[in-house]
Amino acid sequence: MNVDVLLGLQWGDEGKGKIVDVLTPKYDIISRFQGGPNAGHTLEFNNVKHILHTIPSGIFRENKINIIGNGVVIDPIIFKQEIDKLHDVGIDISKNLYISKKAHLILPTHRLLDAASEEKKGKTKIGSTLKGIGPTYKDKIGRDGLRVGDLIHNFDVKYNSRIDNHKVMLTEFFKYNYEETLNACEKDWFEGINVLKSFKIVDTEHMINEALIAGKSILAEGAQGTLLDIDFGSYPFVTSSNTICAGACTGLGIAPQKIGNVFGIFKAYCTRVGMGPFPTELNDDTGTKLRDAGNEYGSTTGRPRRCGWLDLVALKYSVMLDGVTELIMMKGDVLDDFDTIKICVGYEIDGEVVEHFPFELTDDVKPVYVELPGWKTDLTQIKDQNEFPEELNNYISFIEDEMNIPISIASVGPNRAQTIFLEKE
């Protein structure tokens, strides 16, 4: 058996949580492979909305194993909040959730370092979610991290030594006043640790590879999006992990030849939260219309998302990096009320049109658009592909022809049921 991978092709928030939940019945195991509580994955069914940050989006389906892989960074405070919320809606995941011993812990001081670093950067800040992601991965790569497996042995000594180092950085380098906040959150942090310890903490790389040999099917759930990848995204305005498909190998401990289908998710337009370049961004009424229609406010931070037209230059780049085998188009319904819809097919840079994603996206990059007719139809009520308006079929075909990959699912609303599987002739 292989591991199928589902990941975002844009700047995050493409709708990964919804589709993982929709696809989960086809799999035995769902596992997150990178990122942490900077992610906010939304699922909607039975008129209730759930937002997950660390826990895989397969958790609402019965009898499925969910795994938090070694590539993920965990904040025990947020983890406990997620568990409590699930408990409130009657979901007990203690039997079905496994956590890698090698996943790294976000310490209370990592969050403070994130805030201090952003404050120091001022106008050049990344616009981080302030969840401590950058500092935690920095310590991981710098070989100073603390892992979930460390909880079992001599933890206090290791914890105190890391916290002491961080305090020196906060005081001497950042001149950051941390005492009050740190004291307030350390108690919650240790409560979270107690909850974390009550779960199954295992060598998930063995578990996953043994499951493959036993014929189990696995879906790997990405967080963030390809354009936020630490190596290939719009650096430095990126997150601190490999969000691309290769991240599933390192973040779960699976060999590259074990990767099966790669589901690449994109919105029928584009959004971005935080700072950084965004060639097709619309700072006008059309951008506001997209934000309102798509309810584009961050699931984790509540920040308004920047909105713009679909960018095929960026999408092709992502498809190349991820080896996408099937595309999934989200939020087509958000475009229901547009007379015409633009799609970016090239970038004009210094008077020349290029179709590859450049080293640096500056303000000089001008999108080259084609304009397609809108469908002016309420897609949210559609139950079958046969009911698609002709203009929507054209929009889908245009993207498929440009990308040379089929779109296998079109999502037409936030609800689980508003998902249309597309048949090809």
| Listed ranges 33-41, 169-177, 255-263, 321-329: which one lies at the site for ligand IMO (CB under 6 A) | 33-41
Q: How far apart are CA 343 and CA 217, in angstroms?
A: 36
Q: If binding is defined by CB under 5 A, does position 40 make contact with Mg ion?
A: yes
Q: Which of 24, 34, 129, 204 binds ligand IMO (CB under 6 A)?
A: 129
CA angle 65, 68, 70 (to 5 degrees): 135
Q: How far apart are CA 370 and CA 367, in angstroms?
A: 10
Q: How far apart are CA 229 and CA 150, in angstroms?
A: 28
> SS3 of 400, please?
helix
Q: If binding is defined by CB under 6 A, does position 13 make contact with ligand IMO?
A: yes
Residue whose CB is less far from ligand GDP, 29 or 39: 39
Q: Which residue has the tokens 């245009």?
A: 398
Q: Which of 226, 299, 411, 418 binds Mg ion (CB under 5 A)?
A: 299
| Minimum distance, C-beta of residue 301 to Mg ion, in the bound complex (Å) | 10
Q: If binding is defined by CB under 6 A, does position 128 make contact with ligand IMO?
A: yes
Q: If binding is defined by CB under 5 A, does position 204 make contact with Mg ion?
A: no
Could you confirm whether 50 is annotated as catalytic? no
* φ and ψ at residue 63, rounded to 5 degrees: 55, 35
| Listed ranges 246-254, 329-337, 352-360, 398-406: which one lies at the site for ligand GDP (CB under 6 A) | 329-337
Give the H or E element holding residue 18. Answer: helix 16-23
| Listed ranges 23-31, 99-107, 129-137, 319-327: which one lies at the site for ligand IMO (CB under 6 A) | 129-137
Residue whose CB is less far from ligand GDP, 249 or 412: 412
Could you confirm whether 41 is annotated as catalytic? yes
Which candidate in 13, 21, 139, 322 is catalytic? 13
Q: How far apart are CA 374 and CA 286, in angstroms?
A: 14
Q: How far apart are CA 227 and CA 12, in angstroms?
A: 8
Q: Which residues contact 151 (CB under 8 A, 6 or more apart)?
A: 193, 196, 197, 201
Q: If binding is defined by CB under 5 A, does position 239 make contact with Mg ion?
A: no
Contact predicate 145/104, CB 8 Å = yes
Q: How far apart are CA 113 and CA 111, in angstroms?
A: 5
Distances (CA, A) of 4 to 160, 212, 255, 285: 40, 11, 13, 39
Residue whose CB is less far from ligand IMO, 8 or 332: 8
For residue 357, what are its two tokens? 């994603």
| Minimum distance, C-beta of residue 47 to ligand GDP, in the bound complex (Å) | 13
Residue whose CB is less far from Mg ion, 208 or 228: 228
> SS3 of 366, please?
strand
| Listed ranges 30-38, 180-188, 212-220, 326-334: which one lies at the site for ligand GDP (CB under 6 A) | 326-334
Residue type, 206: H
Q: Which of 50, 111, 131, 291 binds ligand IMO (CB under 6 A)?
A: 131
Radius of gyration (Cα) for the chain, nearest Å?
21
Residues 273-292 that bind ligand IMO (CB under 6 A): 273-274
Residue whose CB is less far from ligand IMO, 151 or 321: 321
Q: Under the rule (CB under 6 A), what is the footprint of ligand IMO?
A: 8, 11-13, 35, 38-41, 126-129, 131, 133-134, 223-225, 228, 237, 239-240, 273-274, 299
Q: Give catalytic residue positions.
A: 13, 41
Q: Under the rule (CB under 6 A), what is the footprint of ligand GDP?
A: 8, 12-18, 39-42, 44, 294, 299, 330-331, 333-334, 411-414
